[in-house]
Each structure stands twice: as C-alpha cells, then as structure tokens.
Amino acid sequence: MNMKRLRSNQHLYAEKPWLKDFDDDVIKWHDKWVEFYDKKEFADPVYPAIPLKDLFNKWAEEKPDKDYIIFNDTKLSYKMVNTLSRKLANALMGLGVKKGDRVAIMAPNIPQYIISLHACLKFGAIEVPANVLYTVPELTHQFKDSGTETVIVLAPFADKAIKIMKDTSSPVKRVIAIQITGAPVELEKGEGIYDFNEIIGPANDAEPDVAVYPSDISKLQYTGGTTGVPKGCVLTNEMNMTQVVRTSEWLGVAVPPEDFRTLCAIPLNHIYGYNANVNVCLYKGGTIILVAQPTPDNLLEAINKHEPNLWAAVPAMIIGLNNHPDIGKSKIKSIKGIFCGSAPLAVGTLQKFEELSGGRIVEGAGMSETINIFTVNPVRTKRKFGSCGIIWPDTDLVVVDVESGTKVMGRNEEGELIGRGPQFIKEYWNNKEETDKTVKDGWVYTGDIVKIDEEGFLFILDRKKDMIIVNGMNVYPRDIDEVMFKHPKVVEVCTIGIPDEKQGESVKTFLVVKPGETLTADEVIAYCREQLAPYKVPRFVEFVEAIPRTAVGKADRKVLKQKELEKFKN
C-alpha cells in the first residue's frame, strides 16, 4: 500500500472530510483484493527511475540481433530499429524539432510508427497519436490544441495534414510522409513537405545528446473522456514506466517475460494498443508482431506465420477467430495470454476461444487517463465472469455517489468510480477547466458507473454519460445489452437512449441477428420483459446488418445517438 499517497490529502481532512472517508475505504479493503494477486509481490511494484529510452537502449545493446518488430515477412532487430530511430531523431532535430515539441504520428500498425515513437523518446519530443481515419476538422482541433508542429503520416493520408499545414492558423510547420513500398502515392511538393526515407537516409545514427528525464512528458493521448470534446491526457515517461512494469509482470504469469511475442492488432494510436504491445515489450525486450488491418484472415495469417503468445484483443476480434473456418488447423494454441477489453465478452465466446487456444483470457478495464489499466482479472487465481477484474497493483479505487461525488458507497452498491495511482493523469494539456472537472484533490473521476464487491472485483455498469433517464429512473444501456447478448439468436447489440417528449428518454436497442435466424421486435421486447424491470425494457428495436464501431472495436453509441437525434429534429 502506498502510504505516501495515503498521507497526501491528510491536511485537507478538516476542510473536506470525505477525503478521509476515501482513504479509510482504501485501507479497509486493500488486503482483500491483494489476496487474489497471482504473486503477492505484485502488491509492491518497483519501477526503474529512468526514461523509457534508456530501457529500449538497454535491450538494443544486450539483444541487438533479436527480432523487435515483425510485419508480414519483414523482421527488424533491436539494433536496426535503434539505428533507424536515432537517424530519424537526428533528422527531426535537423529540421528544427526540439525537446518538448509535439510530433503527431498518423499511421496504422506499421514499423515506421514504432520507429517514429522511439525517435521522439530519444530526444524528448512529445508524441501526439493521431487516427488516420480522422477528418480534417477533427485533426485540426487535435493539432491546434496540442500545438503540433510536425506530422509523420502514412502517404495515402498525407493530404489531410498538408491541407491543415496550409491553414495559416494551424501550428503545423512540416509534414513527413511515409511511402508504402511498391505503391507510392504522388504528393505535392513544397516547403515543409518531406519524405520519411529521404530524411532518414543521410542522417547521423548517433544517440542524440539530449537529457531526457522520467518526469518529462512523453505522450499526449487524446480522448473524449466524459464529454465529446477531445482532450490531451498528459502522460510522462515515469507514468508509462509504471505500466511497463505492472502490465508485463501480470502477463508474465502466463508467458515468461523474456519470451514475450505480442500480436499487435489494436491500433498503436490507441492507449490500449500502445500499452499492451510497446510498453509490455519494453520490460524484457519482447517482440511485437504488427497487424495493420485486424481482419480474421489477417490475424490468423500472423498467428500461423509468427506464433505470438500474447494478444490484446477486443470481443469482435475473438468472435471473428472463433468463427473462422480454418481456426481448427491453425497455430492458435501458441497464444497463452489474452487481454480483452473495450466491451463485455460473452462467457460462451470466452470459453470457446480458451478451448481452441488453451490460453487464458483476462478481461480488464481502463482509460486513456490511466494509460489503459486500473483493473484486470488474475491469470491463475480467481476469475469472475462479467467482472473487469481486481484492483490493479499500486492503485486506489473508490465508488462514490453520482450526485455529489463525496459519499463513499458500500460494497456492491452502484456509483461513480474514482481512482488514483502513478498511472492516473494529473492534468489535461492546457485545459484547466476540464482538468478541474475530472481531477479533484488527487482523485480522477472516471465517469464510469460501477460496483465493487467485497473481494475487490469491479463490475462496470455503464458510462455516466450513456445513462438513460426514463421517467426519472436511471437505466444503464449495458443492462439491456447483457440480457440480449445471452439470446441465442443475437450476435451483436447496442442500446441507447432516444428523446421522448413524455418520459424524457426511451430505450432503443439495435440488434444484429445470426445468419439464417429470424427475430421480431415483439419477441425481443417479450424476452426483455422476462429479465428486466419494466422501465428498462426497450420501447424500440431496430435490426441492423452491423453495429458501428470505434477504431478500437467498441460499439459506437455516439454514432447511433447522432442518427437518432437527427431523426428527432426532422
């Protein structure tokens, strides 16, 4: 237990007595969840007091010939990636990029993404992960908010960055395009537009002589959080280092850390993809197997070729492999440790994949504001289906009332989750207003509606912002989703609230039915009436071919809500 953290708010107890209640709750229950750690030493992790670049340089020196990145049939050793990252770092500095400057990396899961990331770490530039699918207005906001001056981008998407650079109100000064071998994209030429390979070629391959410290910012991870306005989570080297250690140690129960071979299918621009692959492999010098487009075919091809043993997945990916016609004759049994997050995983789906692979799926929960993880199920000890696991080492979590955020809720009582720990943000980038809403007296208010049981297992009920209010009654969409996922004819489901002039909001459920099956709205409503309180039963049901999803595979309620709001306005 981190006593220094427990003592940090004691001077405020007289003014804000609820802070003592928070600390007392942590002290009361801490030993309960530690009891289920796979190793008791997990309770007191030790973090190297060095910047991330030092850890990478260590493996490049000790394991120069080991594969660090595998992409299709291309293999890049630690020595090669270190050399290329050094050259890119020196090239960027030659173009005027300095320590503390923001550099956006806008590419799918390709080697150049990781090379660019390590280049930034080498001289203290701050990475700004950007999604290639973002529109020009979305990217413009992100680049302006972060003060991004340099964009490293895959060539087919470079026109967006170039257009933004031409806007005189934009901070972007230079665009560096990554061309795809064998399929070059014709780009306009002009001041501030560079080719990735051309600037690396003649650059110096010496380690940049720039002091980088653990406290230096390494990444601005943009997130919508509890509002729809993207905000930059300020993440430092030392914050990331704590997750390097904890995530790797946790998974090291499933696979020896020195043999980590991660299947990197979650986008690297997402905090989940980054932590479960880059951070994990920094710990003992592991190998990252990149998949740019995570279709079932591409995933299975990467598994058969390179035999990864760790995989960070989302339910849609696991479902896709479970149903792949060639899964039985594949090398799926190479995968022994599987993280699953972003959405609930049906028990039947979990059990089928574990039977096929012989591996262990551990579900967890987290957010960009926590560098991916604050709870996860143990690998070997107790696991509870439907739970996101036990409280993460060196992490304090408390459930408080939704209204005031100051009253501690009892075990198994619903409320908003608040947390603190070395992975929790202290601020959003240049955004005091949103910081003050989220970070209060050292506690981050997550916006997740949850309950925690007596053993420290967390159950996420919903997002605070997704809560539907029907005639004054709170309805959590996940309650309906969980019921419908159990229906034998349903493949996908997503529930939202839609405007209702009489009762404020009504419940509407979108469903994807299994091929060859039929289902009616009346049957769905009748099924829900058997298992849900009357006010939770969907009033409207719509059958769709697919549920829209975010880049990381979550059901995108925002898209469905927007379409329904447009209908309501018309």
Q: Residues 508-512: what's their mean pLDDT?
A: 95
Residue 450 is inside which H or E element, if any? strand 443-452
Decide if pLDDT at 310 tops 60: yes
- pLDDT greater than 60 at residue 437: yes
- Residue 422's pLDDT band, with cuts at 50, 70 and 90, is very high
Burial readout 67-87 (b: 16 or more C-beta within 10 A, e: otherwise)? bbbbbbeebbbbbbbbbbbbb
Domain-by-domain residue ranges, the chain?
A: 76-212, 467-569
Whether the pLDDT of residue 227 is over 50: the answer is no
Gap between the Cα atoms of 493 and 256, Å rounded: 37
Indicate if the pLDDT at residue 88 is higher than 80: yes
Q: In CATH, what is the architecture of 76-212?
A: 3-Layer(aba) Sandwich (3.40)
Tell me which DSSP letter residue 555 carries.
Answer: B
Mean pLDDT of 301-326: 93
Helix axes 136-146, 158-166, angle to 10 degrees: 60
What is the rounded CA–CA span in Å between residue 210 and residue 509? Answer: 54
Mean pLDDT of the chain: 92
Q: Is 386 helix (H, G, I), strand (E, B) or coil?
A: coil
Spatial strand order in the sheet of 193-195: 193-195, 174-178, 148-154, 102-106, 126-129, 217-223, 231-236
Per residue in 191-226, pLDDT (tens digit) is 999 999 999 999 999 999 999 999 999 999 998 543
Structure tokens at 119: 């280049």
Give the total residue count for the chain.
Answer: 570
For the chain, what is the largest distance between any 2 Cα atoms, rounded to a whole number of angstroms? 70
Give the CB-side neighbour count of residue 552, counting CA atoms within 13 A. Answer: 18
The torsion angles phi and psi of 417, rounded to 5 degrees, stand at: -85, 130
Q: Which residue has the tokens 């419908």?
A: 484
Percent of the chain at pLDDT > 70 equals 96
Q: What is the pLDDT of residues 383-416, one digit of tens each?
A: 898 899 999 999 999 999 988 999 999 999 999 9
The 10s digit of each residue's pLDDT in 262-271 is: 999 999 999 9
Which residue is listed with tokens 């699953």?
Answer: 340
Which CATH class for the 467-569 domain? alpha beta
C-alpha dihedral, 421 to 404 to 365 to 564, nearest 10°: -140
Kindly give, in sequence order, each residue whose CB lies less than 8 Å from that of residue 300, ignoring residues fewer than 6 positions away.
321, 324, 326, 327, 330, 332
At 129, is the pLDDT very low, low, confident or very high (cuts 50, 70, 90)? very high
pLDDT-above-90 percentage for the chain: 76
pLDDT at 186 over 60: yes
Asked whether the beta carbons of 335 and 265 are under 8 A apart, the reply is no
Q: Residue 303: which H helix or E strand, with range?
A: helix 296-306
163-187 average pLDDT score: 94
**143 in Cβ contact with 164 (< 8 Å):** yes
